[in-house]
Structure 1
């Protein structure tokens, strides 16, 4: 099985760092990187492949379309239940953690920056683990 990883964050330094960590940890050899939720939303609107499985590493605070708006918008997709989302954010606000639980696609919540051990942890989450067995 194949798992396509998307990194959605507006900070150029974080995008470079997270891409390198995702590759180094073997979470994905070629993660796709987007600068805001709208760019990721547009990708799914036009490039979604029903034969692919998707893991989205999603920031909350971004211009154009933030993480919450992205999550709200994908609820209208017929394939929303095939998307897996890990919130990767600098927010330590417990309200954000609780809000994330309201979206069935969200399978985890991690603080920035990603590290190799966090990516290795992601591989053990039941919704993702079969892709690394």
Structure 2
């Protein structure tokens, strides 16, 4: 499996993002990690660099329930972008609501839905999926 260049976590839970970033290091997940605490921060970062594939993330791990701009609102903005490279999006949420899973399935941009906490095996699966694509 190839190590990803840039990964992005969009999640307001600072403890979760800290633990996930440590797990990513253990499995050699990525070279660089971007962390945003709500969807609006991520949109403001991504929008001006859409034409620069070398600095866009390879993968986004997105929480659904956040302040300011939640995961659904982020997705609604993100899918409008004309991105210069493929960015794989995974939902990583504590939501076990069947409606959230059904709604996620309606977005072509979403590759999979993981329930928190995410494991090292989950990270390895994500790496394998992206490498195979």
1:39 corresponds to which of 31, 41, 51: 41
What is the aligned partner in structure 1 of residue 26 from structure 2?
A: 24
TM-score, scaled relative to structure 2: 0.87
Aligned residue pairs total 129
Correspondence for 2:104 among 94, 100, 105 = 100
Report the counterpart of residue 110 of structure 1 in structure 2.
114
**Counterpart-to-counterpart distance in 1, 2:13 and 2:57:** 25
- Please report how far the alpha carbon of residue 124 of structure 1 lies from its aligned counterpart in structure 2 after TM superposition: 2.2
Report the secondary structure of 1:31's partner residue: strand
**Which residue in 2 is equivalent to 1:85?**
89
Unpaired segments ≥5 residues, structure 2: none
Deviation at 1:81, TM superposition (A): 7.4
1:50 matched residue in structure 2: 53
TM (norm. structure 1) is 0.87
Contact 1:37 1:65 in 2 (8 A): yes
Runs of 4+ in 1 over 4 A off after TM superposition: none
Q: Which runs of 5+ in 1 are unaligned?
A: none
